[in-house]
Amino acid sequence: MTDDITRGLGLLADEAEPATIDAQHVITRARVRTRNRRATLATAFATVAMVGALVVAMNPLTQSDQGATITDTTLEGRLNRLLTEALPDLIPAGWSLVPDRPAGPMPDLEFVCVDSNVNGCSTGATYNDGVGDVDISISVNRIPRNFTEFCDPQFCDPGDLFVQDNLPDGTRTQVRTYSEKPTSRDFLQLLVTRPDGTQVDVVAIWPHDTRSEPPLSTDEILKFATVFSYDSTLPVGAPLNKPTEEFVSDDPKRGARVTQELTDVLDEVIPAGWTKAPDTEQPVQPAFTFECSGSMVGPGTDAPTVESCWAAVYYQDATGVIAFKLSVSPVEVFEINCDAGCAEKTLSDGTETRVSQEFVEQIAEYEHTLAATRPDGTHIWVQVYWKEQRPKTPLTDDELLKFATAFTF
Amino acid sequence: MSSRERSDDESFHTFVARSTEPLTRLAYLLCGDQHFAHDLVQTGLVRLYQAWPKVRDKDAPDAYARKVLLRCWLNERRRPWRRAESHSGEVPDHPAPATDLTGAAHLKEVLRAALTKLPPRQRAAVVLRYWSQHSVTETAAILRCSEGNVKSQSARGLASLRAALDGMGAEALEELTS
């Protein structure tokens, strides 16, 4: 019997406050990362390898110092620049990048920083060296580590320690191999402590027992040791976990106003016998309350920031939970799927509406969605969704259409 | 932007709106930290978007998103600052357990502590099997390991949680099973 464990885990999961995710920001971020990766690769492979290797070989320990005269504005930018400059020498000839491996263990070849109590940046990519795929991961921060942190004997077989040495510039390095049993992966890892306190962790990962030698030689992985220097005076950049700047609304009371408008329309729409269900299995935020925030809308990193308001509302009837998600905004933030056809209607006040119904097989969920554009430009998006507990929509199209004229952004 | 790309973006918007909550809950169970969970969800969605044209029509994107999220977490576990955070006694974003906790609060603290002690793969196997209710086969696909491995990981994880729950008072256990 595992019901108690399931319920206990459910109680714990209930603590999770849902992340506030701006889908457009995610898309923008993903596109920027893809573009940067392509640019990095173009730079890397367009460079004449021999010339690059010769330059680096003549002065291998001063690569990061060469960049000191360049003004870096962010830590992320600094590390990306250092990586781009050194990349032709770091990646062995004949290796090719395996594109679009989002499910792989590494992000693309762009440093992404975490702005938390302990800042740090990481990057990585999957390459193919002709024998097989190799994940390369690089982390840069200021926290000293040792191999026992990475290779817990409980699930790791420690391998050979190849190098534990000081380089001429005072950089301390350790290189070793190990195998991670649960994931059936083998690792070649370099740990670096630079004289300025920079800590670097470089790891190559490949499927267990698929090659007789690590994909990088000791000399090859040691090339990473002197590339990076962490400048703690720089801001981290545009970390994924924080907006770049705080958005200031032109109407601080907008959330309260559209919340009242929501309450008014719900009173008209919700059938008798339904009860509010604030403690559903998937709580979103304080139910029946609109939260308004600014988010980037449109492609590119300089896309305008537009305010939009969002709410989730839960009701319970005799069949179970029936959920509403609502968006009120000056632009179309959420769109409607009309692949299977939408009922289109222009209301008497000029509001243009589209209504769709579909069963989303993958999640066994029914959705009844309204998208409306009011004459004043207010965009309204309402989705009612429920599980398979009922065969028909709990609201008619006409009932759903009452939301179309309820809000003014 | 082509109509195909526009269609992809529309479906991704819809997916994000629909899936952020369950993904956050999964991430929270895996990592035990609100902010870390939010980071994981965001990072996972960025990576998911890069594969969106491939997954939106072929497989259930929810399962794929969980897979991406899990990989993000397993690899984040390897990040030095994550390990430093877990080792340095940083203040967690949930209150420290009081000494007189009873019922569900006690249960959550016991489970939270027991989960924290599980190795990552065991923790993932337990969460996927007993919270997400994935089958052994599905869990093996998500974790990219054999079904036998899932069984052994989840059995060991379950045993650890059981051992922790055995130390609970009768009142909390009663609340748990009610």
Chain segment A169-224, per-residue pLDDT in tens: 889 999 999 887 656 788 999 999 998 889 999 999 888 888 989 999 999 999 99
Q: Which of A226, A243, A270 is the last residue of a domain?
A: A226
- Per-residue pLDDT tens over the stretch A82-115: 998 898 899 998 998 887 654 333 445 777 776 5
Most confident of A379-388, A400-409, B116-125: A400-409
Domain with A348 in it = 254-405
Task: Copy the structure tokens of residue A289.
Answer: 């309350």
Q: Which of A226, A246, A279 is the last residue of a domain?
A: A226
Shared-domain flag, residues A275 and A325: yes
Q: Does any domain span residue A93?
A: yes
Shared-domain flag, residues A264 and A395: yes
Q: Does any domain span residue A2?
A: no
Shared-domain flag, residues A195 and A329: no
pLDDT at B23: 92
User: Which of chain A's residues have a Cβ under 8 Å away from the Cβ of B14?
Assistant: 334-335, 337
Shared-domain flag, residues A158 and A301: no
Q: Does any domain span residue A11?
A: no
- Per-residue pLDDT tens over the stretch B49-80: 877 876 755 456 887 888 888 877 876 665 43
User: Using a CB cutoff of 8 Å and minimum separation of 24, what contacts does A291-296 make?
Assistant: A291/A255, A292/A249, A292/A254, A292/A255, A292/A258, A293/A20, A293/A247, A294/A247, A294/A248, A294/A249, A295/A22, A295/A24, A295/A25, A295/A247, A295/A333, A296/A22, A296/A24, A296/A25, A296/A28
Q: Which of A207, A226, A245 is the last residue of a domain?
A: A226
Element (H, E) at B71: helix B61-76
pLDDT at B2: 52
Interface pTM, i.e. ipTM: 0.78
Angle between helices A49-58 and A75-90 (to 10 degrees): 110
Across chain B, how many H-helices and E-strands are there? Answer: 10, 0
pLDDT at A349: 93
Shared-domain flag, residues A214 and A302: no
Confidence of residue A37 (pLDDT cuts 50, 70, 90): very low
Decide if A334 touches B, using CB distance below 8 A: yes
What sign results for the dihedral spanned by CA atoms A173, A175, A181, A185?
positive
Q: Which of residues 69-128 of A touch B (CB under 8 A)?
A: 100, 102-107, 112, 114, 116-120, 122
- Per-residue pLDDT tens over the stretch A284-335: 445 678 878 776 554 434 556 778 888 878 888 888 888 888 889 888 767 6
Q: What mean pLDDT is reported for chain A?
A: 75
Q: Does any domain span residue A70?
A: yes
* C-alpha closest to that of A111 among A227, A243, A233, A277: A227
Which of the two residues, A59 and A97, has the higher pLDDT score? A97
Domains and CATH numbers, chain B: 1-94 (1.10.1740), 100-178 (1.10.10.10)
Task: Copy the structure tokens of residue A357.
Answer: 């119904």
pLDDT at A55: 28
Q: List A355's β-bridge partners, or say none.
A: A343, A370
Q: Does any domain span residue A7?
A: no
pLDDT at A370: 94
- The residue with tokens 């921060």 is A141
Shared-domain flag, residues A351 and A283: yes
pLDDT at A123: 81
CB pairs A-B closer than 8 Å: 212
Q: Does any domain span residue A234?
A: no
Shared-domain flag, residues A316 and A203: no
pTM of the model: 0.39
Shared-domain flag, residues A264 and A389: yes
pLDDT at A400: 92
Shared-domain flag, residues A395 and A278: yes
Shared-domain flag, residues A205 and A262: no
Decide if B107 touches A, using CB distance below 8 A: yes
Shared-domain flag, residues A198 and A259: no
Q: Which of A127-131, A185-189, A362-366 is the least confident region? A: A362-366
- Determine, for residues B39 and A118 on separate chains, whether the beta-carbon distance falls below 8 Å: no
Q: Does any domain span residue A244?
A: no
CA distances from A210 to A162, A188, A214, A215, B142 (A): 20, 14, 10, 10, 22
- Determine, for residues A104 and B71 on separate chains, whether the beta-carbon distance falls below 8 Å: yes
* CA–CA separation, A290 and A285 (whole Å): 9
Task: Copy the structure tokens of residue A200.
Answer: 């670097």
Q: Does any domain span residue A353?
A: yes
Q: What mean pLDDT is reported for chain B?
A: 73
A123 within 8 A of A111, measured Cβ to Cβ: yes
pLDDT at A245: 57
Shared-domain flag, residues A289 and A364: yes
Number of folded domains that form chain A: 2
- Determine, for residues A284 and B21 on separate chains, whether the beta-carbon distance falls below 8 Å: yes
Cβ contacts of residue A105 below 8 Å, gap of 6+? A124, A135, A137, A205, B71, B74, B75
* CA–CA separation, B155 and A2 (whole Å): 11
